[in-house]
Structure 1
Amino acid sequence: MLNQKIEEKWKWILIPMFIVFEVVIDNFVMQHIYRLFFNPTDHFLLYINLYKIVSIIVICFLNYLLIKQKIFFKPSDKKIGLVSLLVVCLIVVAFCITSKNFWIALNIGSLAALSEELMFRGVILAFTLKLMINKSSSQWRTILALIISSLLFGAVHYSNLSLQSFSATTFQVIHAAAFGMILGAVYIKSGTIIAPMALHFVFDFFFAIIGGLPKADYTPLPNSEWIELIIYVLVYGIIALSIVIHKPSNNKLLPKLKKI
C-alpha cells in the first residue's frame, strides 16, 4: 500500500522501516505479551515456537502493508537442481532420525528457515534487487543487492545478545551475513524461495542436532575462532559470487522481478 504512494527514489526507506517495525514488534512488544502468560526461560521451546510463528505473521502483514513484494515459490522449468537439494535434505533428516535432538532440530530448522527466508530473501533481497535493476541489469548491481540484504540478515542476529557474549554474537552476525550471501545467491539463481529455505533448514537442523536447544552462554570467544571465521567468510563469499556470476542469463529471479 505505502509502496504505491511514494516516489521511486524514496522507496529505499521502506527497507529500514520494514526491519525496524518487525524487530520492535517481535522483540519488544510481543516479549511483554509472552511474559504475561509464561516465563520464556522456563518454557524456551514454547517461546521459540511462538516467536517464529508470530514472526511469520508479522513479516507477511508488514510486507502487505509496506512493500507488497511478491515472493516466488514456483520453480523454474529446470527443476533438477531443486529436486536434488530436497533429496539431500530428506537424506540428512533420515540419517538423524535416531538422534535425541531430532524433533527439536526439525522444529527449530523448519521455523527458522521459513521465517528468516521469507523476510530476508523473499522480501528484502527481492525488493532491493528490484530497485537496483530497475534502470540497469549489470552484474555489480545484482551483487550489491545481495551484499546489502546479507549484511542486514547478519545484523539482525545482534538480537541474540540476551543469550550470549558480545564477541560470540558478533561472530554469529558475521557468519550469518556470509552464509546469507549463499542463501541469496541460491534464490537469485533458482528463482524459487523453496531452494534457500531448504538449504537454510539443513544448516540449522544440523547444528540443532549437535547442540540441541540454544543455551545462554556469556563466555568470550577465543581468538582462534576468529581465524576460522575469516576462512568461512572467504569460502562463503567465493561460493555465493560464483553462483551469481556463472551463466548470469540463468539467474531465474531477475526476469521474474522485471515482470512485476
Structure 2
Amino acid sequence: MKLFRNDITKIILATLIFPVVLIIVGLMSKKQSTASIWQAVGDLVVFVVAYLLNKKYFQQKVTWVNKNNLMSQLFTALPAIIIVVFLDSPMLMVSDFQVKFKVIVICLLVGLAEEYVFRGIMVGLFLKVLHNNVFGAVIGSSIMFGSIHFINLKSLPIGYVSGQVIFAAAIGILFGTIYIKTHNLTIVILLHALRDMFPMFSSKTVLQMSHTTFSMATLYVTVVFLIIALVISYIQLKNFEIKK
C-alpha cells in the first residue's frame, strides 16, 4: 500500500516500536525480582525488531563506526561529553555508589536500542521528509525520542516523567547532531549508556527518582538545558550539508 511507503508513516511506525514491544514484554514479566532482566530483554527485542524492520521496510543506512577524522568527531562530541560528565560526576559522591555489571549491560542495551531507532533510523527518515534539512531532522527525531518517555507514566509520577521528556528531547538533540556530523553511531550509544548508568549505580538515587514530584524549578532547569542543546546543535549544523 502507498500509505505504508510514505516516510511520515515510517516515522510513526518506528516510534511505535518501543511502546508496543515494551508493553508486550511487560505483560510477560510478572515477577518484580526479575524486572531488570526483563528490561534488558525488552530493549534487546526492540533492537532486533527495529533491525529486521530496517532491513525490509525502513531501509535506512546506519553507520556504526567511522574511523576517519577521529579528532574531528571527538571535537563534535565534546559539548555532549562535557554535559554527560557534568551530570554524572555528582553520583561519584553518593554514599552507596557501586559499579554493577548488570546495570552496565542494561544501559548499553538501552543505548543500543534507543540510538539505533531514533538516531540510526529516525534521523535518516526525517532527512528525507525535510529534504536534507539537518537541523530540522535533529529536532524532529528528538521530539519523537522525548515523546516515547511518556510510557514511563505507568511506573513513575508525572512530575518526573514531564522533566524526563524534555530532558530526553534535549539530549537527543545533542546526540542527533553528533550522529549526523560524525556518521558514528557507536559514539552516541556509549554516551547514552554512560548518562543512564551512573544514577543506577546508587539504590538510594533510584528510590529517590521514583518519588520525584513536579517542581517548577526542575522544569525551568530542563527547559534551560533544552535551549542550550538547541543553541549547540544550531551552531554545529548551521553550515553543515549532507553530501549527495
- Specify if TM > 0.5: yes
Q: Is the 8 A contact 2:4 2:10 kept in 1?
A: no
Match of 1:77 in 2: 68
Identity across aligned pairs (percent)?
A: 20
Structure 2 residues without counterparts, runs of 5 or longer: none
Q: After superposition, give the CA deviation of every residue in 1:80-109 in whole Å (9 maximum; x if it has no partner).
A: 2446869x89xx89xx7x951342442233
Equivalent residue pairs, number: 231
Q: Is the 8 A contact 2:17 2:46 kept in 1?
A: no
The Cα of 1:7 is off from its aligned counterpart by 8.0
Matched, 1:15 2:8: no
The residue type equivalent to 1:226 in the other structure is L
Structure 1 residues without counterparts, runs of 5 or longer: none
Matches within 5 A, 1:97-108: 99-108=97-106
Matched, 1:123 2:121: yes
Matched, 1:172 2:170: no
CA gap of 1:9–1:59, structure 2 versus 1, over 3 A, is closer
Of 169, 173, 181, 2:173 maps to: 181
Q: Tell me how far apart the structure 2 counterparts of residues 123 and 213 of structure 1 sit (CA, whole Å).
A: 33
4+ residue runs of structure 1 moved beyond 6 angstroms? 83-86
Match of 1:67 in 2: 58
Which stretch has the larger CA shift, 178-187 or 7-16? Answer: 7-16
Match of 1:191 in 2: 183
Match of 1:230 in 2: 223
The Cα of 1:29 is off from its aligned counterpart by 2.4
Q: Tell me how far apart the structure 2 counterparts of residues 28 and 176 of structure 1 sit (CA, whole Å).
A: 20
Question: Which structure has the greater CA radius of gyration?
Answer: 1
Q: Is the 8 A contact 1:113 1:201 kept in 2?
A: yes
Match of 1:241 in 2: 234
Match of 1:28 in 2: 23
Q: With structure 2 as the length reference, what TM-score do the two structures score?
A: 0.81
Q: Tell me how far apart the structure 2 counterparts of residues 182 and 173 of structure 1 sit (CA, whole Å).
A: 15
CA RMSD across the alignment? 3.1
CA gap of 1:22–1:45, structure 2 versus 1, over 3 A, is closer
Q: Tell me how far apart the structure 1 counterparts of residues 43 and 230 of structure 2 sit (CA, whole Å).
A: 28
CA gap of 1:49–1:22, structure 2 versus 1, over 3 A, is closer
